[in-house]
């Protein structure tokens, strides 16, 4: 059986360094860390004008998003992104109350 890491995974740096990018929800000191990235993974690059991506055995699909920095603080939890943790708490309270999306 093909695992999620084998299916549509890729390498996002030429050195294949598994510690080059910080991974949400993973222990930095996991010495068995794989350098491939698969579905549901976000790779954040700093400034630059080029990326290099190499497909693993079964190909890779990814979405590249680029933009100018907002120069604002970012507080992120799950699917919600705000500027402060206080705004996040309010957003989740509204989400649970069913009032988060306003039409």
Which pLDDT value is given to residue 14? 77
Q: Which two three-digit tokens encode residue 71?
A: 């120069």
Q: What is the pLDDT of residues 35-46, one digit of tens each?
A: 777 777 777 777
pTM of model > 0.85: no
Which pLDDT value is given to residue 26? 59
Burial class (CB in 10 A: 0-12, 13-18, 19+), 27: exposed
> How would you write 23-60 as a 3-class SS string?
CCCCCCCCCCCCCCECCCCCCCCCCCCCCCCEECCCCC
Q: What is the mean pLDDT of the chain?
A: 80
Q: Which residues contact 51 (CB under 8 A, 6 or more apart)?
A: 12, 45, 64
Bridge-partner residues for 80, per DSSP?
Answer: 77
Q: Is the pLDDT of residue 2 over 60?
A: no
Q: Is the pLDDT of residue 32 over 90?
A: no
pLDDT band at 9 (very low <50, low <70, confident <90, very high): confident
In contact, 40 and 48? CB cutoff 8 Å: no
- d(Cα 85, Cα 88) in Å, to the nearest integer? 5
| Higher-confidence position of 5 and 91 | 91
């Amino acid at each position: 059986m093909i695992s999620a890491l084998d299916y549509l995974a890729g390498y996002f740096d030429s050195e294949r360094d598994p510690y080059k990018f910080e991974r949400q929800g993973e222990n930095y000191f996991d010495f068995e860390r794989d350098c491939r990235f698969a579905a549901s993974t976000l790779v954040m690059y700093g400034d630059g004008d080029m990326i290099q991506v190499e497909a693993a055995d079964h190909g890779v699909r990814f979405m590249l998003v680029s933009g100018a920095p907002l120069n604002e603080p970012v507080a992120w939890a799950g699917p919600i992104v705000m500027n402060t943790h206080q705004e996040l708490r309010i957003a989740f309270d509204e989400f649970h109350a069913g009032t988060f999306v306003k039409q």
